[in-house]
């Protein structure tokens, strides 16, 4: 009698499994992550991302992490990469142990990080993207940047299958929460509208800067949920995410947004956003 594992077509003794195969993220998505970017050799909004990461860790009860150690690791890896425009992804999982829903408090968390090249998003920012709606099937703590992203994955894939670039998630009450991997905004006259920061959306760092940019150019900001119907009637729509900052939305569920071109305020916000980068 012996305990066995099988990895694809290879059988091995269970005891010979590398720790990565016992990582709780592998079974449960039991971990949290961050995505940061650099612009022209400088990491953007590192403090905000580390702060959100710390909040995510605490929210799931991983309490042994020194966030200053994470800052050092991020900088060390970024300096090593010599990459002006990079995406820095990292996650911490609760640790590796035989599969069991409950866990021991003395597990050693696993850290993983990559620095990869960020594709230029100039073209998509100029032409805008198409989005489609999808039910928000996620859990009730979307403020935690959890590794559990299955609902986001299914939503995005549905959008891609319809020739769209992003899925806009709609909750059971018929209100838009956010994109599958972005914050969502609408413009009516000179008023910017986006969902309020509660536990059903991620506290997007880009969202925070977009709101700052809007205030700088004297737009009114309303943090209030909107329906897909209302979004269809907006003067302008856009999404916001770290890796691309602001991206205009020119089609919503097959409907052309106004004249089908990136809106005037969206472009102003993109310009204003550049001040934060420099
Ligand atoms: N909302 C969701 C669900 C996301 O996954 C992301 C980013 O990945 C965002 C919003 C945007 O967050 P941020 O601006 O911090 O990149």
Q: Indicate whether 217 pLDDT > 90.
A: yes
> With a threshold of 0.95, does the pTM exceed it?
yes
Q: For residue 18, what pLDDT is reported?
A: 97
Q: Indicate whether 179 pLDDT > 90.
A: yes
Pocket test for ligand 1, best of 32, 183, 273 (most atoms within 8 A of CB): 183
Structure tokens at 144: 């935690």
Q: For residue 278, what pLDDT is reported?
A: 84
Pocket test for ligand 1, best of 32, 145, 242 (most atoms within 8 A of CB): 242
**Domain covering 4-117 assigned CATH 3.30.470.10 in the classification:** yes
Residue range 122-277 forms a domain whose CATH class is alpha beta
* pLDDT above 90: percentage of residues in the chain: 99
Per-residue pLDDT, averaged over 84-108, amounts to 97
Cα angle value 16/149/208 (rounded, 5°): 130
Please state, in angstroms and rounded to a whole number, the distance separating the CA atoms of residues 212 and 234.
21
Tokens 């995005």 belong to which residue? 156
Q: What is the mean pLDDT of the chain?
A: 98
User: Of all atoms in ligand 1, which is nearest to the CA of residue 145?
Assistant: 5
CB-based contact 266:239 (threshold 8 Å): no
Per-residue pLDDT, averaged over 250-267, amounts to 98
Per-residue pLDDT, averaged over 69-77, amounts to 98
Domain range summary for the chain, segments of one domain joined by +: 4-117, 122-277
Three-state DSSP at 191 gives strand
- Ligand 1 mean position, distance from CA 258 (Å): 26
Please state, in angstroms and rounded to a whole number, the distance separating the CA atoms of residues 165 and 172.
23
């Amino acid at each position: 009698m012996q305990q066995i594992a099988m990895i694809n077509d290879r059988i091995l003794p269970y005891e010979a499994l590398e720790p990565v195969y016992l990582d709780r993220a592998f079974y449960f998505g039991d971990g949290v992550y961050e995505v940061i970017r650099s612009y022209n050799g400088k990491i953007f909004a590192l403090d905000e991302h580390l702060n959100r990461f710390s909040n995510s860790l605490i929210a799931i009860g991983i309490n042994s992490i020194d966030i200053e150690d994470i800052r050092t690791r991020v900088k060390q890896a970024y300096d090593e990469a010599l990459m002006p425009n990079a995406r820095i992804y990292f996650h911490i999982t609760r640790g590796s142990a035989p599969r069991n829903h409950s866990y021991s408090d003395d597990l050693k968390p696993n850290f993983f990080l990559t620095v990869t090249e960020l594709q230029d998003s100039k073209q998509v920012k100029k032409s805008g993207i198409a989005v489609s709606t999808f039910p928000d099937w996620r859990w009730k703590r979307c403020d935690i940047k959890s590794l559990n992203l299955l609902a986001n994955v299914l939503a995005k894939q549905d959008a891609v299958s319809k020739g769209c670039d992003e899925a806009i998630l709609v909750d059971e009450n018929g209100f838009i929460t956010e994109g599958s991997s972005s914050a969502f905004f609408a413009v009516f006259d000179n008023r910017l509208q986006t969902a309020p920061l509660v536990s059903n959306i991620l506290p997007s760092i880009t969202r925070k800067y977009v709101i700052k940019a809007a205030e700088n150019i004297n737009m009114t900001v309303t943090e209030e949920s909107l329906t897909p119907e209302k979004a269809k009637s907006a003067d302008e729509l856009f999404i916001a995410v770290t890796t691309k900052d602001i991206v205009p939305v020119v089609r919503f569920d097959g409907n052309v947004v106004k004249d089908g071109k990136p809106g005037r305020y969206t472009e102003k916000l993109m310009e204003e956003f550049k001040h934060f980068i420099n």
